[in-house]
Structure formats: C-alpha cells, structure tokens
Amino acid sequence: MLKTKYLQDVMSGWRHDFHLHPELGFDEHRTAAKVAELLNDFGVSVHRGIGRTGVVGILENGKSGRSIGLRADMDALPIEETGTCSYSSRQEGVMHACGHDGHTSMLLGAAKYLAETKDFEGRVVFIFQPNEEHGLGAPAMLEAGLFERFDVDDVYGIHNLPGMPVGSFAMRTGPITASESLFEIKINAQGGHAALPHMGVDAILVGTEIVQSLQTIVSRKLNPSLNGVVSVTEFITDGRRNVLPGTATLRGDARALSPEVNETIEARMRQIVKGICIAHGVSAEVKYNTAFPSVINKAVPVHAAQQAAVEIVGEKAVESDCEPKLFSEDFAHFANKRPGCFVLLGNGTQGANGKPLHASDYDFNDEVLPVGSSFWVQLVEQELSKKVI
C-alpha cells in the first residue's frame, strides 16, 4: 500500500524544482535552504550546517527513547544535461544525473506524512547529506558530530537503480556496494633521444609493463570467488615526437567488496611497481587513497527493510539477497558507525528512467516517489511501533 500516493504531485513539484536548480557538493545552499524551509513548515525541528551544507530534521513522538536515521543525498554532478524534460537544468554544466533530487523529495514526502500522522513512538532523524559524489559529505557530517548530537539505533539509505522495474526493491546482508580507491603511480626514469634508446630508460616501456602486470592482481592474486576491479584510466608522459619520456604518471581506480580485498590490491600493486622498477633500474612513487569504503549491511536492519518493502510492494517485488554492486557510496561511513542498511529501488527500464546513472539524458522517475517515501513511512512505523514497549 502506497501510503504517500496522495503526495505524488507535491513530491514531483519539489523534485522538478531541485532538478531545475542542481548544485554540486558542498554548494547545495539553495537546496539546503528549501529542504530546511519545508521541514520547518511540516513542524520538524531543523538543524542546518551539519557538515557544511548538511541538514538534519528531528521529529519526535512519545518517550520510548528509540531512534531511527533516514538518509538522502542532495548533490548533483558536473554534467551538461542533454535530456528534453520540461524541467531540465538551468545551471550550465550541472545536472541531477544520479537521482539525488528524487531521493531528497522522497524523504521530504515521508517527513511530511509522519509529521501529520505521528503514528510512531520514538525519534526520526532525517539526514539530508551534501557531497555524496566525492565521498566527502558523510565524513563531514560525522566530523560535525552527527551521531553525537542526534544518535540513532539504526541508519538507512536508498538509491534508485535504472534497469530495475518500478516498485521493486533489492538489498542484502553483507557488502552491497564496493569500495573505491584512487591510485597514482609516478615513474622516474631517464629520458633521451628516440634514436638512442639504449642510452636511457624509456618511462613508457616501464609504465606499459606495470599496466599489464596490474591486471594479474585480479586474475591471479585474488581468490576467484572474491570480486575486485583494477582499471588504469590515465597514462601521461613528458615525451615528445622524437624524445623518449623520462617520467610517466599512471592513474586509475580500484574496486573491492571487502577491506581485505582492497588491502590485497594495494599490497600487490606496490609489489608489482617496485619489482618492475628494480628490474629497469628506475624509481617510482605509489599513492593509494580509498575514497569510499564498501557499504556493509547488517542483518537486523536488512531484515527490517525487507519487511517494510514487502508491506509496500509485495514479496515478489523484493529481492532480499541481491548481487552486490561495484559502484560506491559514502553511506558506508554511516554504516560503519551504526548498524545500517542500504537499499536499491527500481527506477524503471524505459526511456530516460532506464538510462544509466550519470548519463547526461538520465532522469529520475516520478512514479518512484510514492514508492520510496511509503517505504520510509512503513519502516518508521514498523520499527518505532507504538505497540512496542
């Protein structure tokens, strides 16, 4: 049962406004102001500036002492929109290409409904987070004392997923999204004349060997039952038409579904680079920065999310043990601090709603708004039931 169906047009209006006026991470000033204004209108206590542009809403009823955290992300992406919707971005080079406009609107819809009905006993913490795309928003809110000021027993997040039917949910216990680590390898060799390669050490040759060998980390160094990805995405040298380069910089991206696999990838990468450089008599520096940890869902909140989703859309539309995804999410930082569950919500399979996330012609599906917001409401009423003593 879609409890917030009557709010669909209202939520669509909010979303279209957010879509018209997208803002990048930590620049969500207009978005945060609108969120705060709406929460205040609903009768929700508002706290701004939590993690720079983050907003937290507090709604309490009764004195049970139990608390639940619900998180939505607010930031857009530096992408020029090519879609043709009537509410296309008015901000040049910026658009909501990941659906955060929809995530924010769904949580606002749930806040409005819960503030009107108050059919729960406890406290709901509505977390409107900035800068998810760069993985900086969740750490910023935590550093600002999010859970010290507004503690929660469990925390939940939702992300839409194109390719999944509208009205479907997917979740799992354990890792559901991958860590993302950015690496940089700087090779210091000896440049020289292209006609006299024996008098120097070609940095391109060394770099090429490293690129090829890095692919053996996943194929030969990881247990085949474990997932990992190592991708070199940049190869930059100081070479010219007839000049062999003396330096080369390799940059790339590594994904893993567990801290152990991520540590293995980093260790093997450093070994490979060191060994190849020793063989060629050159040196190299390796930087490996894990920007996003893996989201690890805990069993108890996953079970709660599954129950709520089944109540909303039925058992056949809920996958409770989905395959993990290799994209990354900074909700991981929240789930590392409190028992958490990250849920995937179908955005549809047709037209702009079925386009990949981060595509310039992607669009969040307004039909999903009452599904996601009703899920939030059901989860709160279920977990903070007045019947529980």
- Whether 75 sits among the annotated catalytic residues: the reply is yes
Q: Do residues 334 and 150 make contact, with C-beta atoms less than 8 angstroms apart?
A: no
Q: What is the DSSP string of 296-348?
A: EE-HHHHHHHHHHHHHHH-GGGEESSPPPBSS--THHHHHHHS-EEEEEEEEE
User: Which residue has 């354990």 as its token pair?
Assistant: 174
Catalytic residue among 23, 28, 73, 75: 75
| CA quadruple 83, 87, 91, 97: dihedral sign | negative
Contacts of 260 (CB under 8 A, 6+ apart): none
Catalytic residue among 132, 311, 330, 383: 132
| CA-based nearest residue to 70, from 312, 292, 331 | 331
Q: What is the DSSP string of 108-143?
A: HHHHHHHHHH--SSEEEEEEEES-TTTT-HHHHHHH
Cα(258)–Cα(228) distance, integer angstroms: 9
Q: Do residues 325 and 172 make contact, with C-beta atoms less than 8 angstroms apart?
A: no
Question: For the chain, where are the E strands, in sequence order?
Answer: 45-48, 55-61, 67-73, 122-129, 154-162, 169-170, 174-177, 179-188, 192-193, 228-237, 243-244, 247-256, 283-292, 295-297, 318-319, 340-348
Supply the DSSP symbol for 220: I
* Catalytic positions: 75, 132
